A and B are shown apart, each in its own frame.
Chain A
Amino acid sequence: MTKVFVSAVIDAPIERVWAKVRDFNNLPKWHPKFSRSHIEDGLPSDRIGCIRNFDIAGGGGTIRERLLTLSDIDHTFTYCILTSPLPVAGYVATLKLYPVTVGNQTLGVWTAEFDVTSGKEADVVDAVGNGTFGKAFEVLNERLARPEGAI
């Protein structure tokens, strides 16, 4: 079992960050690594058990993930991979936001556990940790950060 842990400060209040990431169908709208998404069977994207069906940008294949938990009170959701081109099995990931009260910023923590089924474990860990999670926090910070000097 491999674990990935990535965390970063986003220079925006937690409500703004949560509003951006809460929609389970919204990933390709803000993460450049992904494109096109829909929730299968026309379910609402905050219905526990719903499945998002989305593509890796540039023809990288389709991923299907099931929403396992969603909490507006703890600003967190957990999901698992059902099918994907990645060589992983038993993949469960959680995104959780924490308020940084000093400065009114947000800490994003994204964790995953999974087995690597083929290829180099380090490459898969890098793709998930840096390519997906780390990139997500960079992009969120770029999009949501307050301009220098703004209050």
Chain B
Amino acid sequence: MAKVYRSAVIDASADRVWALVRDFNALPKWHPAIAESAIEGGLPSDQVGCIRRFTLRSDGGLLREQLLALSDLDRTCTYNILISPMPVANYVATLRFTPITAGDKTFAEWWAEFDVTSGPEQATTSDIGDNVFVVGFASINKLVSGK
């Protein structure tokens, strides 16, 4: 089982950040790697159990992910991967946003556990950590802080 953990400071309040990322169908709005997204079966994107179906901007690769938990109280979102082009299995990830009271900023965390099904584990874990999670944080920061 591989684990990835990344965290960063976002220069806006946790409520502002959460308003952007809470929508499970909003990846294309804030993650530069994602082209299009839809919730299957026309479900609301905050209905736990709903599935988002989205494509990568780079090569059109398709992913399906299921919302496992959503908490407005803790500002967390947990989901797993059903289908993806990545060499991973049993992938479960969580996003969490914690207020930083000194300066009214946000502590963003994103972590995942999964099995790597082919290729070197390190390559897959750093690809997910740096190119998915950290890139996502930087993009959120740009959108909500205007910097």
Given contacts A6-B102, A7-B101, A9-B102, contact A102 B8 (CB under 8 A): yes
Q: How far is the CA of A99 from the CA of B5 in the complex (A)?
A: 9
Q: CB-defined interface of A1-45 with B at 8 Å, one 1/0 digit per residue?
A: 000011111000000000000000000000000000000000000
Indicate if the CB atoms of B107 and A98 lie closer than 8 Å.
yes
B33 at the interface (CB under 8 A from A): no
A68 to chain B, nearest CB (A): 22
A25 to chain B, nearest CB (A): 26
Among A7, A98, A103, the residue within 8 A (CB) of B109 is A98
Among B6, B9, B98, B102, the residue within 8 A (CB) of A134 is B102
Given contacts A98-B107, A98-B109, A107-B107, contact A8 B101 (CB under 8 A): yes
Among B5, B9, B109, B137, the residue within 8 A (CB) of A9 is B9
Interface residues of chain A: helix, strand, loop or mixed (majority): strand
A118 at the interface (CB under 8 A from B): no
Among B7, B101, B134, B137, the residue within 8 A (CB) of A98 is B7
B38 at the interface (CB under 8 A from A): no
A: contact size bracket: 10 to 19
Question: How many residue pairs between the two chains, A and B, have CB atoms under 8 Å in the bound complex?
Answer: 54
Q: For residue B134, which residues in chain A have a CB less than 8 angstroms away from its CB?
A: 101-102
Q: How many residues of chain B are within 8 Å of chain A by beta carbon?
A: 16
Q: How far is the CA of A65 from the CA of B68 in the complex (A)?
A: 40
Indicate if the CB atoms of B9 and A103 lie closer than 8 Å.
yes
B88 at the interface (CB under 8 A from A): no
B32 at the interface (CB under 8 A from A): no
A79 at the interface (CB under 8 A from B): no
A131 to chain B, nearest CB (A): 14
Interface centre among B99, B102, B103, B134 (most CB of A within 10 A): B102
B144 to chain A, nearest CB (A): 16
Q: How far is the CA of A7 from the CA of B107 in the complex (A)?
A: 9
Indicate if the CB atoms of A101 and B5 lie closer than 8 Å.
yes
Given contacts A7-B107, A98-B107, A98-B109, contact A103 B8 (CB under 8 A): yes
Given contacts A7-B107, A98-B107, contact A109 B98 (CB under 8 A): yes
Q: For residue A54, which residues in chain B have a CB less than 8 angstroms away from its CB?
A: none
A48 to chain B, nearest CB (A): 26
Q: For residue A107, which residues in chain B have a CB less than 8 angstroms away from its CB?
A: 7, 9, 98, 100, 107
Given contacts A98-B109, A102-B134, contact A7 B98 (CB under 8 A): yes
Q: Using CB atoms and an 8 Å cutoff, list the residues of chain B in contact with chain A.
A: 5-9, 98-103, 105, 107, 109, 134, 137
Give 4 nearest A-B pairs by CB, closest first: A8-B102, A102-B8, A107-B107, A101-B6
